[in-house]
Amino acid sequence: MRALNRKLLRDLWRLRGQVLAIAMVVASGVAVLVMSVSAIEALEETAQAYYERYRFADVFAGLKRAPQRLAHRIEAIPGVQAVETRITKLAMLDIPGFDEPVIGQLVSIPERGTPVLNQLALREGRFVAPGRVDEVVLSEPFAEEHGLRPGDHLKAIMNGNKRTLEVVGIALSPEFVYAIAPGALMPDDLRFGVLWIGREALEAAYDLDGAFNDVSLSLLRGAQVETVIERLDQLLDRYGGIGAIARADQVSNWFLMNEIEQLKTAATILPVIFLAVAAFLTNMVLARLIAAERSEIGLFKAFGYGNAWIGWHYVKMVVAMTAVGIVIGWGVGALFGRLNTEIYAEFYRFPFLYYRPGPAAFAIGAVVSLGASLVGTIGAVRQAATLPPAEAMRPPAPPVYERTWLSATWLGRWLDQPTRIILRQISRWPVRSALTSTGIALSVGVMVMANQWTDSINHIIQVYFYEAQRHHMAVGLVEAQSSTAVHEFERMPAVLAVEPMRIVSVDFSKGTRKHRGSLAGMVPVTRFNLIYDVSGQVIQVPPGGLVLGTKLAEKLGVGVGDEVFVEILEGRRPARPVRVVRLFETYIGMPAYIDIRVLEDLLRERPSVEYVNLLIDEAAEKELFAKLKDLPEVSAVMLRRAAVDTFRKTMAETLLIYIGFFSAFAVALGFGVVYNSARIALSERGRELATLRVLGFSRMETSYILLGEVGLLVCAGLPLGCLAGGGLAWMITTAFETELYRIPLVVEASTYGTAVLVALVATVISAALVRRRLDRLDLIAVLKTRE
Amino acid sequence: MTFSSKAQDPVDRPRVTLRAEALTKIYRTGEVEVQALRGVDLELFERELVVLLGASGSGKSTLLNILGGLDVPSSGRVFFDGTDITASEESALTRFRRDHVGFVFQFYNLIPSLTARENVALVTEIAAHPMAPDEALEMVGLGERLDHFPAQLSGGEQQRVAIARAIAKRPNILLCDEPTGALDSATGILVLEALEQVNREIGTTTAVITHNTVIGDMADRVVRLADGRIVQITANPRRRPACELAW
Ligand SMILES: Nc1ncnc2c1ncn2[C@@H]1O[C@H](COP(=O)(O)OP(=O)(O)O)[C@@H](O)[C@H]1O
Ligand SMILES: [Mg+2]
């Protein structure tokens, strides 16, 4: 082996602490990228595969009642591949040992064979048997929440009759990756579940013999979804169709895709910023490391090694260091990516998991890291190599220290010598000092950026659930009831106040822009459902016009004063232009509000309610729950605290776990930077410090000189880091927007505090490690040899 | 006995290996200017051993560094075998150092992470006609310590490794900057003996810097510098063997 290569290996071994610290910085960047990208890829692939394998339908439509033979006419629509007709109903459930009302989504399955579309992944037990009308297959998340297993029983009010059902199987369905109650914002597996029951049993229970009230279609490749939906809507119009939707608008899928989209945004922007920061730090650290090799470079030149040769030597050295980091980053990234994917898969309840990371993330991580290292190295080597060898071999000329205010003022007289050395050192190397502080600032900034999410989410919860929603619960009714229902609710136990609300499915359009969403009819002066602007302003819904969330207005390209074409997908399906009278900012969803009387007008209906918001006495809620359980017209019960729970859970289990991994990497990054700064400072100044020791300075004092400098630079970096963190957080929250959420920029003081604390702990640990080396400094050897 | 590869000059007059003409060197650091060399002319002949004497700060190291192509003069020229190395390209200068010059530094400048043998190999691996590292170390009396790391060697031994490293490429010129400066006299003499032996056996033109006048006795010529100028050149009628020196 060539002597130079041997030197390389031994140097790497000698510098192993630093190699590891640099590797940590590199690895953090690479790992975050690999983890994020591969987990997202896996999530998307798994979802897609799940949909395909279990034949998730492309178009869904609900209707009142249609004869089974209509299925043939639906099949004949050009572009349709397969048709599955079903019966779906909502039912109030009674689960032993659970007080609160629970809503069940009943879905029919054939007693013989498997459904053509929206097939089930059986997890436990079996499917329903022919002729057994009391058998049910439960959705797994729901069954798990209630601890229900095959053999257990539950009750359901079906068409006014309370029936006891026996659980025979537990299953998952691509149709209910998220099981969201009609009108609910978030999935809540405790209070809403899917029950698959034999088709014949449901036909009998709801007097739907030979009929269906729900149809799903799969389409041929290349079929036009819009045209199929149009034809389908025409066919179903006579049978009380409420407007078919494409897979993209199917609630579970829409939610899932939104979540994936949101994770994807997080998993693209965060790692890119992170990788860039890691690359910058790698570059900085290596440049300084190589600069410290300057006298060795001079020596090689004195021997007659050419610049290219020397450059190649150091390139090999940093490539080796970086490669260690890259390999660690790949490994850790893939491991955490898999872990992350498993968490997602568990959360989304995929029956299987594809984790097959593509090469792109690995390659990008490696190339960016290597590039940054090489640029830093080559710059530093060039700087040393252009010097005549004689000059390079001399220790850098003793800097010219000028008498400054430091020595002149009272402050200067008051400072002791070691402190002066620190301050002079910093003022002598302003660029390098600034870079060190910048490095620390960036790692603090990344930590702030990561933790800011938690703050923002808490802020959303506060504003959305507590400030804007004053009521404790909302009750959805199976069908719009006459307004006397309000009084019925007022008389129920524990109810303090009632406010009605009406929510309808709506197609908004403006020119070619379209949005299928919902429109909420509000009482003119609402006390419960305050419409809060993000600025904290309460907005009243003026009579006669639409109040739109800005996100929706943006999507439709409208402003105040413009008209939006509103087509209500219920009742007589009225359609007409309505003027936008107000816009407001919101964090969640794309809401639209209108005066409930205007809505009734549009529907040409008598005053009616579909939702009631209740203010209740929570101490007495059990009685109310018991009462609600026996009401056949109740289709959904949404509790505010349950909604907060599920919101937290949805966010926590996906985004926040991801952010948790991310924070860990940010800590590694910060540690790597601080440790390297201290180590390089030690190697640069070992002689000077040993000399001071020989002159009689104590270990304490020499440590102070070295670590005091690092400490001071860290301290300078901290406020900068908080600023950088604020900036990065702003960048992210701006870039991070889905139809479902906007993330407000909220950074709590505690987030800054945590980041600062972590940086300080990293500093203390690095200092302790370097201090050990400093104490073991061999005075004679340092003074005898000139490095 | 090993001969230089160069043919002997037909006339019985030694050939000039290295010639310096009107060298000046000014160091600038900030606003401070130091004139280290103020016009130096010097010829080094084949096979001769020259000792450069002078007080600290008189410009000896500066001169040696410029002669060896480690530094560039502010003005003036240096010729090696008739070519102007001060006008050479970077790559030609590198080749000059690699193939023709050996350096010995006051502080040895060994690579701490390489053994004695590997430190020598570092140079022989790129030289045109090197001797084996073991052979070079044998010449300086370190045949037994081939696999020791610098930290395991005494100062004198380290300096002899440095000499072995400098001569292993069979250089035309050996430049030594205070090779005994960091050593006690007995060890210093061992090192000087090694230099003497190399000069005799390989015929390398050797220049040794010292501020120890006694060492001048082992030279063919003694060059004295003061304040950046050559103030005196004396030729010794007879070289005293290094082993007879004492200080
Ligand atoms: N890199 C440098 N920068 C500034 N001045 C220098 C530098 N190197 C040497 N000098 C000055 O040049 C003069 C000659 O130095 P040098 O050749 O090292 O002397 P010697 O080797 O004879 O002791 C001295 O005054 C020294 O201070
Ligand atoms: Mg000198």
Contacts of B94 in chain A (CB under 8 A): 301, 304-307
Q: Centre a 10 Å sphere on the Cβ of residue A509 and count the other Cβ atoms it contains.
A: 17
Residue A232 domain-assigned (yes or no): no
Do residues A508 and A429 both lie within one domain? no
pLDDT at A170: 96
**Cβ-based contacts of A2 with chain B (< 8 Å):** 121, 125
Are A493 and A528 a contacting pair, CB within 8 Å? no
pLDDT digit string (tens) for A632-660? 777 777 787 777 777 777 766 667 777 77
Residue B120 lies in a domain: yes
Contact between residue A50 and residue A257 where contact means Cβ atoms under 8 Å apart: no
**What is the C-alpha separation between A72 and A203, in angstroms, rounded?**
19
On whether any CB of chain B is under 8 Å from the CB of A76, the answer is: no
The protein residue whose alpha carbon is closest to atom 16 in ligand 1 is B59
Query: Is A526 a residue whose pLDDT tops 80?
Result: no
Nearest partner of B49 among B231, B233, B174, judged by Cα:
B174
CB contact under 8 A, A302 and B72: no
Q: What is the mean pLDDT of residues A271-284?
A: 77
SS3 A188: coil
Res A344: pLDDT: 79
Looking at residue A778, its pLDDT comes to 66
Give the mean pLDDT of chain A: 84
Looking at residue A413, what is its pLDDT? 62
pLDDT at A534: 65
Distance, in Å, from the CA atom of A507 to the CA atom of A515, rounded to the nearest integer, reads 6
Q: Between B9 and A21, where is the model more confident?
A: A21
Mean pLDDT of A452-461: 82
Point out the domain boundary residue: A183, A201, A219. A201
Residues A780 and A646 in one domain: yes
Q: Which pLDDT does position A663 carry in this prediction? A: 77
Q: Do residues A469 and A528 make contact, with C-beta atoms less than 8 angstroms apart? A: yes
Query: Is the pLDDT score of A785 beyond 60?
Result: no
State whether A389 and A414 are in the same domain: no
Do residues A190 and A267 share a domain?
A: no
pLDDT tens digit sequence for A147-178: 999 999 999 988 888 899 999 999 999 999 98
CATH number (domain holding residue B230): 3.40.50.300
Of A425 and B171, the structure prediction assigns the larger pLDDT to B171
Domain annotation covers residue A536: yes
Given a cut of 70, whether residue B210 has pLDDT beyond it is yes
A515 touching B (Cβ < 8 Å): no
Digit-coded pLDDT (tens) for B38-63: 999 999 999 999 999 999 999 999 99
Q: Model confidence at B8, in pLDDT bands (50, 70, 90)? A: very low
* Residue A179 in this model has a pLDDT that exceeds 80: yes
Nearest to A585 by CA among A746, A463, A727: A463
Q: Are residues A541 and A415 in the same domain?
A: no
Please tell me whether residues A549 and A599 are part of one structural domain. Answer: yes
Q: What is the CATH number of the domain that holds A603?
A: 2.40.40
User: A201-210, A339-348, B156-165, B200-209: which range is least confident on average?
Assistant: A339-348
**What pLDDT digit, counting tens, does each position of A117-126 carry?**
999 999 999 9
Residue A297 has pLDDT above 90, yes or no: no
Find the closest chain B residue to A310 by CA distance.
B94
Contact of B86 with chain A, judged by CB distance below 8 Å, is answered with no
In a domain, B188, yes or no: yes
Per CB-CB distance under 8 Å, the chain A contacts of B116 are none
Nearest CA to ligand 1 atom 4: B27
Poorest-pLDDT segment among A71-75, A102-106, A673-677: A673-677
* For the ranges A179-183, A308-312, A582-586, B75-79, the one whose mean pLDDT is highest: B75-79
For residue range A381-436, list pLDDT tens digits in order: 888 788 888 888 876 655 555 555 555 565 656 677 778 778 877 887 787 788 88
> Quick one: pLDDT at residue B37?
96
Report which of A345, A326, A349 is spatially closest to residue A337, judged by C-alpha positions: A345
Considering the domain architecture, whether residues A709 and A767 belong to the same structural domain is answered as yes
Answer yes or no: is A621 within a domain. no
User: What is the pLDDT, as a whole number, of residue B9?
Assistant: 46
Residue A326: what pLDDT? Answer: 94
Check B111 against A299: CB less than 8 A apart: yes
Q: Residue A184: its pLDDT value, please?
A: 66
- Average of per-residue pLDDT across B103-129: 88
Q: Is B37 a member of any domain? A: no
Domain count for chain A, please give it: 4
Same domain, A371 and A414: no
Q: Assess contact for A325 and A26: CB atoms under 8 A.
A: yes
The answer on A784 and A702 residing in a single domain is yes
Identify which has the larger pLDDT, A787 or A759. A759
Residue span of the structural domain in which A95 resides: 88-106+122-201
- A522: Cα within 13 Å, side-chain hemisphere: 24
Residues 6 or more apart in contact with residue A509 via CB below 8 angstroms: A515, A556, A564, A565, A567
CB B153 within 8 A of CB B190: no
Q: Structural domain of residue B66, as residue ranges?
A: 46-73+99-244
- Judge whether A571 lies within some domain: yes
pLDDT given for residue A475 in this prediction: 83
Does B126 map to a domain? yes
Quote the pLDDT of residue A36. Answer: 85
DSSP letter at B10 equals S
Residue B235 forms part of a structural domain: yes
Domain count, chain B: 1
DSSP tag of A209: T
A521 and A593 both lie in a single domain: yes
Spacing, Cα A146 to ligand 1 middle (Å): 87
Same domain, A394 and A440: no
In a domain, B210, yes or no: yes
In this structure, are residues A625 and A502 in contact, taking their beta carbons and an 8 Å threshold?
no
**Confidence band (pLDDT; 50, 70, 90) for A341?**
confident
> Distance between CA B110 and CA A785 in Å, rounded?
9
Position B247 pLDDT exceeds 90: no
Domain boundary among A345, A367, A398: A398
Mean pLDDT over A293-314 rounds to 87
| Comparison of pLDDT for B184 and A326, the residue scoring more | A326
> 3-state class of B32 per DSSP?
strand
Give the residue among A639, A642, A623 at the shortest CA–CA distance from A475: A639
To probe the interface with A, which of B63, B65, B88, B134 has the most A CB atoms within 10 Å? B65
Averaged confidence pLDDT in chain B: 88
Q: Confirm whether A686 is domain-assigned.
A: yes
Structural domain includes residue B9: no
CA–centroid distance, B101 to ligand 1, in Å, is 22
| Chain A nearest CA to B169, separation (Å) | 10
Residue B6: which pLDDT band, with cuts at 50, 70 and 90?
Answer: very low
pLDDT digits (tens, 9 = 90+) for A756-773: 988 888 888 888 888 888
Q: pLDDT digit string (tens) for A233-249?
A: 999 989 988 888 899 88
- Please report, as a single letter, which amino acid is at residue A250: Q
Residues having CB closer than 6 A to ligand 1 are A 394, 397; B 27, 29, 34, 36, 54, 56-62
Percent of chain A at pLDDT > 70 equals 93
pLDDT at A404: 57
Contact B104, B166 (CB under 8 A): yes
Averaged over B113-127, what is the pLDDT?
Answer: 90
Give domain status of residue A209, yes or no: no
Q: Which of A398, A426, A452 is the last residue of a domain?
A: A398
Distance B33 CA to ligand 1 centre (A): 11
DSSP labels for A403-423? P-HHHHSHHHHHS-HHHHHHH
Q: ipTM, 2 decimals? A: 0.85
pLDDT, tens digit, 9 for 90 and up, residues A682-726: 877 777 787 777 777 788 888 888 888 888 888 899 999 999 899
Q: Which of B117, B122, B187 to mutate: most A Cβ within 10 Å?
A: B122
A66 within a domain of the structure (yes/no): no
B73 contact residues in A (CB cutoff 8 A): none
Cα A605 from Cα A550, distance rounded (Å): 29
pLDDT beyond 50 at A206: yes
Q: What percent of chain B has pLDDT over 90?
A: 51
Q: Are both A345 and A305 inside the same structural domain? A: yes
